[in-house]
């Protein structure tokens, strides 16, 4: 079988990559070892940036329909049990409330799409169904990746197909989205660096029909999404998207202890079923490379983080959307050789920041956990003092895990070969997001005068030159892109509000909504700008490549 891209691994990252490529008309084969998606609670939140990406893939609304209802509270609570008053409640807006805030915001500080709680066992089948309906995508379920051989003109991939036969696939490129134990990465000889096996916990998935409806139980906490337990082994409970399924993570040694822990947390006798239980390890690891030659890596294959902060899968989706448009541009003939080379340059620095952010969030959790005193559960003045002390500490430290909007929206690419690398730039802030159009940053969401979103006006297969002042002659840049065969739209939006937030008259936006260049007038060397942002380096090199065929 010959195709353009082979993807190994049909988790959320591999599926997002396949859908993105398929919607661009790029033929790809998705190789997945499992015959069907598994009912495992590996992740439970698509963050705001991920939902913006899914919106561009026309998937946001169907994901919301499948996920947790929009009116469910997102509060985080520190508790002793579900029948005792919360020691600390950190309120966060529901999806509906977050949408209302965005609707009223006109300063670029909020995302177009709020987060969405959806379990991986719900998201994966949804994405799989979308992928299988795309004519350009072939999904090979029950198929095991064996090995690959790189050639001058492509990659040969050996697999064991669902019928047991060994088959060979050929493509121009191979992408390993096959998780932390990636066989593609291992064959490349690429190491993971950092802190491995930091701690071990058990994860249990429980079905409890009545718990959500019963909340609050007595004087217990109100409804929320995360419940962190103070006292005993490190333990926290997460409500899954159905509001009937709950995951518990705890440093216990056996399945029976996990059952007892769930019963201790809920504090009342309710019928329940434990559907799954297994050990998992906490890691903070980053691959030394994101690929070699015609083979690339994405998602957990290159970065493994502690789930605290919710950055793992979401960063993988960012990898997928960055790689998708660059693969498509290269295969369509207009992307220069530095376009695919920029994938590692751009995404590895984000992986490094995410590992650091996950460490920061995890240390915050550990900081307040260390302040839990033995008397915290006592109905005594000493117990009351212990709970009050913990609330003060956790009100600072726990927020480090739950308030990561800067890590989600504010990351920008630095020293990339395909952006205008202006020295300096705003600080990289994990906790806060300051809208900016500094080259490398995500284009801030803004409402237009007709109440539509500017992001919806940008076609995902094209660059867009946004003119917020009008009167600029864009024809030189259009001609430069046309010479390269690269797609460019010009969007004229004379709007003083946009000019205030976007800081410049002209903003050149890439297909992935990251800014490649900005200025108050086009540069004289407009051919060099077009060549740089499309991966050709400069105009002379681009002309040489074009003339050589």
Domain span holding position 22: 5-68+116-193+284-352
Q: Based on the fold, state whether residues 531 and 434 are members of the same structural domain.
A: yes
Q: Based on the fold, state whether residues 337 and 456 are members of the same structural domain.
A: no
CATH number, domain containing residue 22: 3.50.50.60
Please state, rounded to an integer, the average pLDDT across all residues of the chain: 95
Categorize the per-residue pLDDT at 538 as very low, low, confident or very high, splitting at 50, 70 and 90.
confident
Q: What is the pLDDT of residues 71-120, one digit of tens each?
A: 999 999 999 999 999 999 999 999 999 999 999 999 999 999 999 999 99
Q: Is the pLDDT of residue 548 over 80?
A: no
pTM of the complete model beyond 0.85 = yes
Q: Is residue 258 part of a domain?
A: no
Q: What is the pLDDT of residues 216-275, one digit of tens each?
A: 999 999 999 999 999 999 999 999 999 999 999 999 999 999 999 999 999 999 999 999
SS (H, E, C) 417-433: CCCCCCCCCCCCCCCCC
Rounded distance between C-alpha atoms, residue 115 and residue 64, angstroms: 9
Beta carbons within 8 Å of 423's beta carbon, 6+ residues apart:
none
Q: Is residue 24 part of a domain?
A: yes
Q: Where are the alpha helices (DSSP H) in 139-200?
A: 183-188
Q: What is the pLDDT of residues 425-466, one digit of tens each?
A: 999 999 999 999 999 999 999 999 889 999 999 999 999 999
Rounded distance between C-alpha atoms, residue 192 and residue 216, angstroms: 44
Positive or negative, the Cα torsion across 349, 352, 356, 359? Answer: positive
CATH number, domain containing residue 428: 3.40.30.120
Q: What is the pLDDT of residues 330-351, one digit of tens each?
A: 999 999 999 999 999 999 999 9
Q: Is the pLDDT of residue 182 over 90?
A: yes
Calculate Rg over the CA atoms of the chain: 24
Mean pLDDT of 391-405: 96
Length of the chain: 549
For tokens 């337990």, what's the residue? 229
Which of 329, 352, 375 corresponds to the end of one domain? 352
Which of 352, 385, 403 corresponds to the end of one domain? 352
Mean pLDDT of 309-337: 96
Mean pLDDT of 173-177: 98
List phi, psi (to 5°) of 495. -150, 115
SS3 of 453, please? strand
Residue 12 burial (CB count, 10 A): 26
Q: Is residue 145 part of a domain?
A: yes
What are the C-alpha distances in Å from 223 to residues 67, 74, 163, 526? 17, 8, 48, 56
Mean pLDDT of 456-485: 95
What are the C-alpha distances in Å from 120 to residues 117, 128, 311, 403? 10, 12, 14, 22
What is the DSSP pairing of strand 5-8 with strand 173-176? parallel
* Number of domain units in the chain: 2
Q: Is residue 168 part of a domain?
A: yes
Q: What is the pLDDT of residues 107-166, one digit of tens each?
A: 999 999 999 999 999 999 999 999 999 999 999 999 999 999 999 999 999 999 999 999
Percentage of the residues of the chain whose pLDDT score is greater than 90: 93
What is the DSSP pairing of strand 116-117 with strand 88-90? unpaired
Our CA dihedral for 270, 275, 280, 282, rounded to 10 degrees, sits at: -50
Structure tokens at 202: 């058990």
Q: Is the pLDDT of residue 44 over 90?
A: no
SS3 of 228, please? strand
Strands in 208-354 per DSSP E: 226-229, 235-239, 245-250, 273-287, 291-292, 295-297, 303-304
Q: Is residue 430 part of a domain?
A: yes
Q: Is the pLDDT of residue 206 over 70?
A: yes
Mean pLDDT of 487-507: 95
Q: Based on the fold, state whether residues 342 and 476 are members of the same structural domain.
A: no
Q: In the prediction, which pLDDT does 309 show?
A: 84
Q: Is the pLDDT of residue 1 over 80?
A: no
Q: In the prediction, which pLDDT does 549 show?
A: 59
Positive or negative, the Cα torsion across 349, 353, 358, 362? Answer: positive
Q: Is 306 exposed, middle or buried (0-12, 13-18, 19+ CB in 10 A)?
A: buried
Q: Between residues 546 and 490, which one has the greater pLDDT?
A: 490
Q: In the prediction, which pLDDT does 547 show?
A: 65
Angle ∠(368,313,507) on CA atoms, nearest 5: 105
Q: In the prediction, which pLDDT does 64 show?
A: 97
Q: In the prediction, which pLDDT does 546 show?
A: 66
Categorize the per-residue pLDDT at 43 as very low, low, confident or very high, splitting at 50, 70 and 90.
confident
SS3 of 248, please? strand
Which of 325, 352, 379 corresponds to the end of one domain? 352
Q: Based on the fold, state whether residues 52 and 125 are members of the same structural domain.
A: yes
CA atoms within 13 A on the CB side of 243: 17
């Amino acid at each position: 079988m010959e195709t353009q891209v082979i993807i190994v691994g049909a988790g959320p990252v591999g599926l997002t990559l396949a859908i993105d490529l398929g919607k661009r008309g790029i033929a790809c084969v998705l190789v997945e070892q499992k015959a069907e998606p598994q009912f495992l609670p590996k992740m439970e939140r698509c963050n705001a940036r991920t939902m913006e990406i899914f919106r561009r893939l026309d998937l946001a609304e169907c994901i919301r329909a499948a996920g947790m209802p929009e009116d469910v509270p997102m509060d985080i609570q520190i508790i002793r049990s579900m029948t005792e008053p919360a020691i600390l409640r950190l309120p966060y807006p529901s999806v509906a409330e977050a949408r209302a805030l965005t609707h009223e915001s006109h300063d670029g500080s909020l995302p177009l799409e709020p987060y969405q709680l959806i379990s991986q066992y719900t998201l994966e089948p949804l994405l799989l169904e979308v992928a299988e309906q795309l004519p350009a995508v072939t999904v090979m379920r029950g198929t095991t990746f064996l090995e690959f051989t790189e050639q001058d003109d492509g990659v040969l991939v050996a697999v064991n197909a669902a019928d047991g036969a060994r088959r060979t696939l050929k493509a121009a490129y191979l992408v390993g989205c096959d998780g932390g134990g990636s066989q593609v990465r291992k064959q490349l000889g690429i190491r993971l660096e950092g802190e491995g096996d930091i701690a071990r916990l058990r994860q249990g998935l429980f079905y409890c029909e009545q718990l959500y409806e019963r909340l609050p139980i007595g004087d217990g906490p109100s409804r929320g999404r995360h419940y962190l337990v103070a006292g005993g082994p490190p333990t926290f409970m997460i409500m899954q998207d159905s509001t009937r399924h709950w995951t518990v993570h705890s440093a216990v040694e056996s399945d029976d202890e996990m059952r007892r822990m769930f019963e201790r947390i809920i504090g009342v006798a309710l019928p329940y079923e434990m559907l799954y239980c297994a050990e998992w390890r906490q890691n903070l690891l980053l691959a030394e490379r994101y690929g070699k030659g015609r083979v690339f890596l994405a998602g957990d294959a290159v970065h493994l983080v502690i789930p605290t902060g919710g950055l793992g899968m979401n960063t993988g989706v960012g990898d997928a959307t960055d790689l998708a448009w660059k693969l498509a541009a290269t295969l369509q003939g207009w992307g220069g050789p530095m376009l695919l080379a920029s994938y590692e340059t751009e995404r590895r620095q984000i992986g490094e920041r995410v590992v650091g952010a996950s460490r920061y969030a995890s240390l915050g959790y550990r900081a307040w956990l260390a302040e839990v005193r033995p008397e915290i559960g006592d109905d005594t003045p000493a117990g009351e003092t212990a709970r009050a002390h913990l609330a003060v500490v956790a009100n600072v430290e726990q927020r480090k895990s739950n308030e990561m909007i800067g890590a989600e929206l504010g990351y920008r690419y630095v020293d990339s070969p395909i952006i205008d690398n202006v020295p300096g730039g705003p600080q990289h802030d994990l906790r806060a997001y300051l809208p900016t159009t500094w080259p490398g940053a995500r284009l801030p969401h803004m409402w237009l005068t007709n109440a539509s979103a500017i992001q919806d006006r940008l076609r995902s297969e094209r660059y867009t030159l946004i003119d917020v002042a009008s009167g600029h002659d864009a024809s030189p840049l259009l001609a430069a892109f046309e010479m390269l065969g690269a797609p460019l739209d010009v969007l004229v939006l004379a709007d003083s509000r946009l000019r205030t937030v976007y800081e410049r008259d002209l903003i050149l936006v890439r297909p992935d909504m990251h800014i490649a260049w900005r200025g108050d007038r086009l540069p004289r060397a407009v051919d060099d700008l077009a060549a740089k942002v499309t991966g050709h380096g400069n105009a002379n090199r681009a002309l040489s490549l074009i003339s050589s065929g």
